[in-house]
Amino acid sequence: MARIFLISLPLVLLLLAPSEAAEEPSHKPSSEFKTLFPLLGRHEDSNTVLSGNVPEDQNTLKERTPGKLKKDFYRKTCPNVEKIVTKTFSKIVKENPGAIGHMLRLQFHDCFVNGCDASILLDFTPTGDTVEKSSMFNGLLLKGADIIDDVKTKVEEECPETVSCADIMVFTTYEAMSLAGLPGQKPLGGRRDSLISLATIAEENNLPRPDWSMDQIMELFGRKGFNVEETVVLLGGHSVGVCHCDAFMERANNFNGTGKPDPILPANVIEEIKKSCPNAGTNLYRNPPVNFDATPTVLDNLFFKDLVEKRRALILTDSYLYEDARTRPIVEQMAADHTLFPNRFPEVMAKLTALDVLTGTEGDVRKICRSLN
């Protein structure tokens, strides 16, 4: 697959951007690249490294996009855009309910790496640098770019070169939340698409890993402007979708090289994991997907109830939500009140989808989400 892609790359470049194709790929290290293109006008992330115990108000008050996004942004230029998104995405979900989980994760990874600018969708950049989506920090299986292709195509038919890929992604994510049972919310619009996409930015401590400590998670989410409560709510995104066995199987078999299961997992959860991930350590092992909870297309509080009532979580960082004294009370609240999470999740997603966005004349509105204009 990768090889076919590499071979066809020069051809695609020739078709789409003849002038750029003539240039040699530069393979510049990221630091040099950054000084050449200092993130194209967006205000830089603060470089302060916060400790794990961040005072909550310090984070909540951080305003990352002061009022630049608008309701009904396309009211005059593409009044039907949300209808087109709804129609196209609900058709996709009918055939593949997993699309709900794919969208939420894609959105999270786009927004945490350089802001919600559709940089995750680019398949290549003219400089030849490795793009964000190729970073192993996304895991092997970041899905959903094809969903945006389909929605974008439909939107372009009615409103050519008008709606950014970043907005289409957010509108589709909102549709996913609505199909997953959350009260319909109107997303803001006005995001613009990035002109760059770099794996190195994804790898500069901008994406969490399932073996991270709670301090590392809080540092990252704090740096992005989320307090502890908001972080727990966002991690409730694991109420939908799947996790592949590679990310958590060793907890049942050989936790952290000890040759024993993870001591914080109850025996029945260990059994469940062993059953869900058969043939571990043999040629027959296939790294299958396992649902995060029993309702993988519904954004409900079951993920939190599983933690409180059964200590059940697949990945280690999700277990820490219950184990850590700072997050346990919030998990318990979410588990006890089934209306709380469905109300808080869209509010925190509104904040996520406004993170470090490009607006106005920054960036671009891409015609094809996978490539620059």
Which is the catalytic residue, given 43, 102, 109, 338? 109
Binding to ligand HEM, residues 21-40 (CB under 6 A): none
Q: Which is nearer to ligand HEM, 77 or 343 (CB)?
A: 343
What are the b/e assignments for 101-113, b being 16+ CB within 10 Å?
bbbbbbbbbbbbb
Q: Determine if residue 213 is labeled as part of a ligand binding site.
A: no
Residue 43 is among the residues annotated as catalytic for this protein: no
Q: Examine residue 104 and tell whether it contacts ligand HEM (CB under 6 A).
A: yes
- Contact present, 50 and 222 (Cβ < 8 Å): yes
Write down the least CB distance from residue 296 to ligand HEM, Å: 7
Q: Determine if residue 318 is labeled as part of a ligand binding site.
A: no
Q: What is the 3-state secondary structure (H, E, C) of 331-366?
A: HHHHHHCCCHHHHHHHHHHHHHCCCCCECCCCCECC
Closest CA to 117 of 194, 37, 40: 194
- Using a 10 angstrom Cβ sphere, with 0-12 exposed, 13-18 middle and 19 or more buried, the burial of residue 2 is exposed
Q: Determine if residue 319 is labeled as part of a ligand binding site.
A: no
- Report residue 274 as tokens: 């062993």
Show the binding pattern over residues 106-145: x = contacts ligand HEM (CB under 6 A), - = does not.
--x------------------------------x-x-x--
Q: Determine if residue 167 is labeled as part of a ligand binding site.
A: no
Q: Read off φ and ψ for residue 290, nearest 5 degrees.
A: -125, 135
Q: Examine residue 251 and tell whether it contacts ligand HEM (CB under 6 A).
A: no
- Contact present, 148 and 168 (Cβ < 8 Å): yes
Q: Examine residue 242 and tell whether it contacts ligand HEM (CB under 6 A).
A: yes
Q: Examine residue 101 and tell whether it contacts ligand HEM (CB under 6 A).
A: yes
Known binding-site residues for Ca(2+) equal 110, 113, 115, 117, 119, 132, 293, 295, 300
Binding site, annotated residues for heme b: 238
| Residues of this chain that bind ligand HEM (CB under 6 A) | 98, 101-102, 104-105, 108, 139, 141, 143, 208-210, 217, 234-235, 237-238, 240-244, 247, 315, 317
Where in the sequence numbering do the catalytic residues fall? 109
